[in-house]
Amino acid sequence: MPQTKQQPNVVLILADNLGWGELGCYGGGAIRGAPTPRIDALAAQGTQFMNFNVESDCVPTRSALMTGRHPVRTGAMQSVPAGLPQGLIPWERTLAEAFSAQGYATAMYGKWHLGDKEGRYPKDKGFDEWYGIPRTTNESMFMDAVGFDPEVVEVPYVMEGYKGQRAEKRELYDLEMRRRIDEVLTRRSCDFINRHAGKTPFFLYVPLTQLHFPTIPHRDYEGRTGKGDFADSLVEMDARVGQIIDAVQDGGIADDTVFIFASDNGPEYRRPWRGSAGMWTGTYHTAMEGALRVPLIVRWPGKVPAGRQTNEIIHVVDMFPTLARIAGLEVPADRPIDGVDQSAFLLGQQEKSAREGFVYYIKTELRAAKWRDWKMHFVWEVEPNAGANHLETPYVFNIVQDPKEESDVNTTQGWVRGPIRRLVNAFQDSLKRHPPVPPGAPDDYVPSYIMTSPTADRVDRE
Q: The dihedral of CA 317, 319, 325, 327: what is its sign? A: negative
> Which residues participate in catalysis according to the annotation?
58, 113
Residue 188 lies in a domain: yes
pLDDT value, residue 328:
97
CB 48 within 8 A of CB 144: no
Eight-state DSSP code of residue 165:
S
Residue 302 covered by a domain: yes
Domain contains 54: yes
Q: Do 270 and 365 share a domain, yes or no?
A: no
Q: State which residues form the domain around 420.
A: 357-433
Cβ-proximal residues to 375 (8 Å cutoff; 6+ apart), any chain? 289, 368, 369, 396, 397, 399, 405
Same domain, 329 and 367: no
131 close to 173: Cβ distance less than 8 angstroms? no
How far is it, in rounded angstroms, from Cα 62 to Cα 76?
9
Residue 3 lies in a domain: no
Structural domain includes residue 184? yes
Residues 320 and 378 placed together within one structural domain of the fold? no
The one-digit pLDDT tens for each residue of the chain (462 residues) are 445 557 999 999 999 999 999 999 999 999 999 999 999 999 999 999 999 999 999 999 999 999 999 999 999 987 777 678 999 999 999 999 999 999 999 999 999 999 999 999 999 999 999 999 999 999 999 999 999 999 998 899 999 999 999 999 999 999 999 999 999 999 999 999 999 999 999 999 999 999 999 999 999 999 999 999 999 999 999 999 999 999 999 999 999 999 999 999 999 988 999 999 999 999 999 999 999 999 999 999 999 999 999 999 999 999 999 999 999 999 999 999 999 999 999 999 999 999 999 999 999 999 999 999 999 999 999 988 888 999 999 999 999 999 999 999 999 999 999 999 999 999 999 999 999 999 999 999 999 888 776 455 656 655
Q: For 319-412, where are the E strands, in sequence order? A: 357-362, 365-371, 374-380, 389-398
What's 166's domain CATH number? 3.40.720.10
Same domain, 253 and 327: yes
pLDDT of residue 455: 52
- Is 214 part of any domain? yes
Say if residue 275 is in the same domain as residue 404.
Answer: no
Say if 271 falls within a structural domain.
yes
Please tell me whether residues 333 and 375 are part of one structural domain: no
Q: What is the pLDDT of residue 1?
A: 46
Last residue of a domain, one of 314, 346, 378: 346
315 and 375 belong to one structural domain: no
Q: Is residue 357 a contact partner of residue 372, using CB atoms and an 8 Å limit?
A: yes
Judge whether 108 and 374 are in contact, CB under 8 Å: no
Identify whether residues 287 and 156 lie together within a single domain: yes
Separation in Å, CA 65 to CA 138, 195, 317, 337, 361: 22, 26, 6, 11, 15
CATH number, position 389: 3.30.1120.10
Beta strand 257-263 pairing with 293-299? antiparallel
Cα–Cα distance between 353 and 343 in angstroms, integer? Answer: 9
* End-to-end C-alpha distance for the chain, whole angstroms: 40
Based on the domain organization, do 367 and 222 belong to the same domain?
no
Instruction: Give the C-alpha separation, 232 to 226, whole Å.
Output: 8
Q: Which of 346, 371, 397 is the last residue of a domain?
A: 346
Last residue of a domain, one of 311, 346, 381: 346
Neighbours of 355 (CB within 10 A): 23
Is the same domain home to 264 and 308? Answer: yes
Same domain, 370 and 257: no
Question: From CA 212, how far away is CA 206, in angstroms rounded?
Answer: 15
The total number of structural domains in the chain stands at: 2
Integer CA distances (angstroms), 420 to 291, 336, 369, 427, 460, in order: 20, 20, 7, 11, 10
| φ, ψ (nearest 5 deg) of residue 414 | -65, -15
Decide if 446 is inside a domain: no
Are 334 and 366 contained in the same domain?
A: no
> So what's the pLDDT on residue 285?
93
